[in-house]
């Protein structure tokens, strides 16, 4: 597995772990890899960053967006759900992964959203 930008932000954090054909992608926050902070401005900035971080962590373990079969999204309020859903859908071509969305009392770094995933990587398609 290659190093993910998340490892630079949170030492000791395992962004993804392979187990046979499955890749478990740890919860990703919308932390900017350069600053280690949630992007300023609208929730849209955080939502795009959380998706980019999730896919970066998955890629470090050899998985792509097309390989994701299940995601779990944690939100601090369902008021942001429709905005997040609209952005989430832009990161997938074709069938979306199965998904659960759970409201939580709070997240690290005062984030509004966190996402984790499970991917299935076809061994015949692996190039490494």
pLDDT tens per residue, range 25-78: 999 999 999 999 999 999 999 999 999 999 999 999 999 999 999 999 999 999
**Per-residue confidence at 12, pLDDT binned at 50, 70, 90?**
confident
Domain 5-120: assigned CATH number: 3.30.1330.40
Predicted pLDDT of residue 126? 61
Give yes or no for residue 7 having a pLDDT over 50.
no
Q: What residue spans define the domains of the chain?
A: 5-120
Asked whether 72 and 100 are in contact (CB, 8 A), the reply is yes
Query: What is the rounded end-to-end Cα distance, in angstroms, of the chain?
Result: 10
Judged on CB neighbours under 10 Å (0-12, 13-18, 19+), 94 is: exposed
Give yes or no for residue 109 having a pLDDT over 80.
yes
Predicted pLDDT of residue 4? 53
pTM over 0.95: no
Predicted pLDDT of residue 108? 93
Asked whether 52 and 44 are in contact (CB, 8 A), the reply is no
Cα–Cα distance, 2 to 91 (Å, whole number): 22
Region 81-94: mean pLDDT is 97
């Amino acid at each position: 597995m290659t190093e993910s930008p998340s490892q630079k932000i949170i030492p000791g954090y395992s962004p993804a772990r392979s187990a046979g054909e499955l890749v478990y992608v740890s919860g990703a926050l919308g932390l900017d890899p350069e600053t280690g902070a949630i992007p300023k401005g609208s929730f849209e900035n955080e939502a795009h960053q959380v998706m980019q971080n999730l896919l970066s962590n998955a890629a470090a373990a050899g998985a792509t967006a097309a390989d994701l079969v299940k995601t779990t999204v944690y939100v601090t309020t369902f008021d942001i759900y429709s905005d997040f859903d609209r952005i989430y859908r832009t990161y997938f071509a074709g069938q979306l992964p199965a998904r659960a969305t759970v409201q939580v009392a709070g997240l690290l770094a005062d984030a509004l959203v966190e996402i984790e995933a499970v991917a299935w990587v076809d061994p015949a398609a692996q190039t490494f």
